[in-house]
C-alpha cells in the first residue's frame, strides 16, 4: 500500500515537472568580459551529483544577462566601493590593505578560489571576511568590521573578484580542515526548525524544482557576495542565516563554528566551478 | 428586555459550544494513525472549505502553493512543483489518508519526504523560540484544509 502510494506520488511529480518549461538548468555558457566561466564541473568524489552546477544556470535569461556584463551587473558597484577601501588608510598603524599587499589584481588572485583555509593561529578555518578582520586588528591597528557592516562585504567582494573565473579548490589536507568539513556535512543534512528542512531537502533532493517562483539550485556559493535582485548585496553568512530562519529555526551567529563548518563543506561542494563574485541572483 | 435575554443566552450557548469543541480537540501527540490514515476528525467540528482555501494559500499558514500546483487557484501565479499537483486529489486519496498526510506525511510516505508535518511536534532541531511546542496549523485549520481538498475532485 505504502509503496503504491509513493509510486503514485512520484508519477504525479514527474508529470508536474514535465509541464514546466524551465524545470532544468539551462544549456548556456557564461563569459564575463571575455573570460569564460566554468558553470558545470565534474563533481568531486563523494558528491551525490555527477555534475556541480552554478546557480547561474538556474536563473532567468534577463538575470543571466546581468551577470554577463560587468557594466550592467549591479554587484559591481559595491566591488568598486571595495576597491576604494583597499587603498584607504585606517587604524593606528597608518596602513591600508595596499600598503602590504600592493596591487590586488596580483596579490589577491586565487584567494577567492581557495578560501576558507586553515588558520593555525585560531585553530579554525578562516574565510575572507575574518582574514580581513585579522589584518585590521593585528596589522593595521583598526577595529574589526562587524558582520555585514563597515565595508566588510564590499572589500570581501573586491578581493574575491580578483579570482573571477578561477576554479574553486579548497585544501582539506591543511590542519583540521577535514574534521570541519565533516561537521559541515553533518549540518548540511540536519533538518532544522518547525518546517523540518535541511539544506539537502531543497538543494540536493529538489534541485531543479520550483518553490513558487524560486527555482531551486544546488545552493552553490561560488558567486558570493552576490547581488540579489530582491534584497540587494548579500553576504554568504547572511544567506545561510536567511535559509535557516526560513525553516523556522534559531539562526546560528555569523562566523560561528557551525557556519564556518558549513561554509567549508558547501564551498567544497562547488569544487571546480569558477568564482563568479559578484554573481547576480533573483 | 426579552431580546437582550435571548442575546445573552445565545452568547452563553455559543461559548459553551466553543468550549466543547476545544475540549474534544485532539492534541498533536495524541493523534492516532491507523492503516487508513487518521480516521477521526481532529476537532469534531466539520471543516470549512472556504476557510481551508485561505489557509491553503496563505504563505504564513499552509503555503501549499509553494510546493504544489493547483488548477483551482490558477489566478495565483507561480505554483511550485516540489510535490505533486493537487488537482483531483480527493479522488486519489480518502479523507483519512489526506488527513494523515497533512498532519505528518512522514507517517505515510517515508522519513525522507520534505513535506512538513502541519500538526506535528516531531520537527527539526533548534526550532525558533516563538515556534517551540507549536504546530504549523491548528487542528481546526487542518480540518478546514481537508474540507477544501475534498472539493478538488473532477
Per-residue confidence band for A156, with pLDDT thresholds at 50, 70 and 90: very high
Residue A265 grid cell: 563543506
Those residues of chain B that have pLDDT short of 70 are 1-23
pLDDT of residue A51 exceeding 90 = yes
- Whether A197 sits inside 8 A of B124 (CB atoms) is yes
Helices (H) and strands (E) in chain B, counts: 5, 0
- Whether B114 sits inside 8 A of A210 (CB atoms) is no
State how far the Cα of A6 lies from the Cα of B115, in Å rounded to an integer. Answer: 13
Answer yes or no: do A88 and A130 share one domain.
yes
What is the count of structural domains for chain B? 1
Mutation choice for B interface testing from A16, A186, A198 by most B CBs within 10 A: A16
pLDDT of residue A261 exceeding 60 = yes
Would you say B105 and B115 are in contact if contact means Cβ atoms under 8 Å apart? yes
pLDDT of residue A270 exceeding 70 = yes
Answer yes or no: do A198 and A229 share one domain.
yes
Q: Tell me what pLDDT residue A3 has.
A: 39
Answer yes or no: do A115 and A200 share one domain.
no
Domain of A32 in residue numbering reads as 24-73+174-281
Under 8 Å CB pairs connecting chains A and B tally to: 103
Is B48 within the bounds of a domain? yes
Q: Tell me what pLDDT residue A24 has.
A: 82
Treating both helix axes as pointing N-terminal to C-terminal, what angle do A177-188 and A257-269 enclose, rounded to 10 degrees? 90
Q: Tell me what pLDDT residue A23 has.
A: 59
At A128, which CATH number? 1.10.760.10
Q: What is the pLDDT of residues A189-222, one digit of tens each?
A: 999 999 999 999 999 999 999 999 999 999 999 9
* Residue numbers in B near A201 (CB within 8 A): 114
Selecting from B81, B126, B134 the residue whose C-beta is nearest the C-beta of A20 gives B81
Is B8 within the bounds of a domain? no
Mutation choice for A interface testing from B71, B124, B138 by most A CBs within 10 A: B124
Is A12 within the bounds of a domain? no
Answer yes or no: do A186 and A271 share one domain.
yes
Domain of B130 in residue numbering reads as 28-149
What is the count of structural domains for chain A? 2
Q: Tell me what pLDDT residue A19 has.
A: 38
Pick A127 or A9 by higher pLDDT. Answer: A127
Q: What is the pLDDT of residues B71-89, one digit of tens each?
A: 999 999 999 999 999 999 9
Q: Tell me what pLDDT residue B3 has.
A: 47
- In Å, what is the CA distance from A114 to each residue of A142, A224, B152? 25, 13, 53
Shortest CA gap B7–chain A (Å):
42
| Nearest-by-CA chain B residue for A251 | B128
Is A14 within the bounds of a domain? no
At B106, which CATH number? 1.10.760.10
Q: Does A22 touch chain B (CB under 8 A)?
A: no
Shortest CA gap A25–chain B (Å):
15
DSSP chain A: -HHHHHHHHHHHHHHHHHH-TT-S------EETTEEP--EEEPPTT-SSSEEE-GGGGS-HHHHHHHH-TTT-TTHHHHHHHHHHHT--BTTTTB-HHHHH--HHHHTTTHHHH-SEEETTTTEEE-HHHHHHHHIIIII--PPPPTT-TTHHHHHHHHHHTTBTPBP---TTSTTHHHHHHHHHHHHT--BTTTTB-HHHHHTSSTT-EETTEE------TT-SEEETTTEEE-HHHHHHHHHHHTTBPPPPTT-HHHHHHHHHHHHHTTTSBB-SS-EE-
Is A168 within the bounds of a domain? no
- Whether B116 sits inside 8 A of A197 (CB atoms) is yes
Q: How much is the pTM?
A: 0.89
pLDDT of residue A22 exceeding 90 = no
Would you say A44 and A272 are in contact if contact means Cβ atoms under 8 Å apart? yes
* Residue numbers in A near B85 (CB within 8 A): 12, 15-16
Q: What is the pLDDT of residues A78-88, one digit of tens each?
A: 999 999 999 99
Residue B83 grid cell: 510535490
User: Taking the mean position of all CA atoms in its chain, how far away is CA B47?
Assistant: 9
Q: Does A9 touch chain B (CB under 8 A)?
A: yes
Pick A109 or A7 by higher pLDDT. Answer: A109
Q: Tell me what pLDDT residue B154 has.
A: 86
The catalytic site residues of A sit at: 243
Is B119 within the bounds of a domain? yes
- Whether B92 sits inside 8 A of A8 (CB atoms) is yes
Cis ω before A116 (30° cut-off from 0)? yes
Helix (H, G, I), strand (E, B) or coil at B12: helix
Strand partners for A42: A51
Answer yes or no: do A49 and A116 share one domain.
no
Would you say A93 and A139 are in contact if contact means Cβ atoms under 8 Å apart? yes
**DSSP 8-state code for residue B99:** H
Helix (H, G, I), strand (E, B) or coil at B82: coil
- In Å, what is the CA distance from A181 to each residue of A118, A176, A177, A256? 11, 9, 6, 14
Q: What is the ipTM of this complex?
A: 0.87
- Whether B80 sits inside 8 A of A202 (CB atoms) is no
- Whether B110 sits inside 8 A of A5 (CB atoms) is no
Amino acid at each position: 500500500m505504502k509503496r503504491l502510494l509513493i509510486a503514485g506520488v512520484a508519477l504525479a511529480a514527474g508529470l508536474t515537472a514535465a509541464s514546466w518549461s524551465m524545470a532544468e538548468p539551462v544549456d548556456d555558457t557564461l563569459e564575463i568580459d571575455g573570460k569564460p566561466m566554468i558553470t558545470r564541473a565534474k563533481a568531486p568524489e563523494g558528491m551525490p551529483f555527477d555534475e556541480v552546477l552554478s546557480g547561474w544556470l538556474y536563473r532567468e535569461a534577463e538575470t543571466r544577462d546581468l551577470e554577463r556584463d560587468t557594466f550592467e551587473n549591479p554587484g559591481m558597484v559595491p566591488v568598486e566601493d571595495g576597491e576604494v577601501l583597499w587603498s584607504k588608510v585606517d587604524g593606528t598603524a597608518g596602513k591600508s590593505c595596499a600598503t602590504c599587499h600592493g596591487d590586488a589584481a596580483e596579490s589577491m588572485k586565487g584567494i577567492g578560489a581557495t578560501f576558507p583555509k586553515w588558520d593555525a593561529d585560531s585553530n579554525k578555518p578562516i574565510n575572507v571576511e575574518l582574514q580581513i578582520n585579522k589584518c585590521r586588528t593585528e596589522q593595521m591597528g583598526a577595529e574589526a568590521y562587524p558582520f555585514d557592516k563597515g565595508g566588510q562585504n564590499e572589500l570581501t567582494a573586491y578581493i574575491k573578484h580578483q579570482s573571477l573565473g578561477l576554479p574553486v579548490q579548497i585544501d582539506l589536507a591543511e590542519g583540521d580542515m577535514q574534521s570541519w568539513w565533516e561537521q559541515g556535512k553533518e549540518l548540511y543534512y540536519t533538518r532544522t526548525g518547525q518546517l523540518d528542512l535541511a539544506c539537502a531537502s531543497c538543494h540536493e533532493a529538489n534541485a531543479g524544482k520550483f518553490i513558487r517562483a524560486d527555482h531551486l539550485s544546488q545552493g552553490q556559493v561560488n558567486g558570493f557576495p552576490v547581488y540579489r535582485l530582491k534584497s540587494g548585496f548579500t553576504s554568504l553568512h547572511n544567506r545561510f542565516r536567511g535559509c535557516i530562519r526560513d525553516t523556522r529555526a534559531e539562526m546560528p551567529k555569523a562566523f560561528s563554528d557551525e557556519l564556518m563548518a558549513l561554509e567549508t563543506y558547501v564551498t567544497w561542494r562547488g569544487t571546480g566551478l569558477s568564482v563568479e563574485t559578484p554573481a547576480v541572483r533573483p | 428586555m426579552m431580546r437582550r435575554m435571548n442575546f445573552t443566552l445565545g452568547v452563553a450557548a455559543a461559548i459553551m459550544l466553543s468550549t466543547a469543541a476545544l475540549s474534544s480537540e485532539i492534541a498533536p501527540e495524541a493523534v492516532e494513525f491507523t492503516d487508513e490514515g487518521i480516521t477521526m476528525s481532529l476537532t469534531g467540528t466539520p471543516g470549512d472549505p472556504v476557510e481551508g482555501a485561505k489557509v491553503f494559500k496563505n504563505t504564513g499558514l499552509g503555503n501549499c502553493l509553494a510546493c504544489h500546483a493547483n488548477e483551482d487557484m490558477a489566478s495565483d501565479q507561480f505554483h511550485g512543483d516540489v510535490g505533486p499537483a493537487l488537482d483531483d486529489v480527493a479522488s486519489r486519496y480518502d479523507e483519512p489518508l489526506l488527513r494523515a498526510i497533512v498532519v505528518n506525511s512522514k507517517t505515510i510516505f517515508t522519513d525522507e519526504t520534505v513535506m512538513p508535518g502541519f500538526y506535528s511536534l516531531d520537527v527539526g532541531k533548534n526550532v525558533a523560540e516563538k515556534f517551540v511546542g507549536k504546530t504549523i496549523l491548528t487542528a481546526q485549520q487542518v480540518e478546514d484544509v481537508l474540507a477544501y481538498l475534498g472539493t478538488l475532485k473532477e
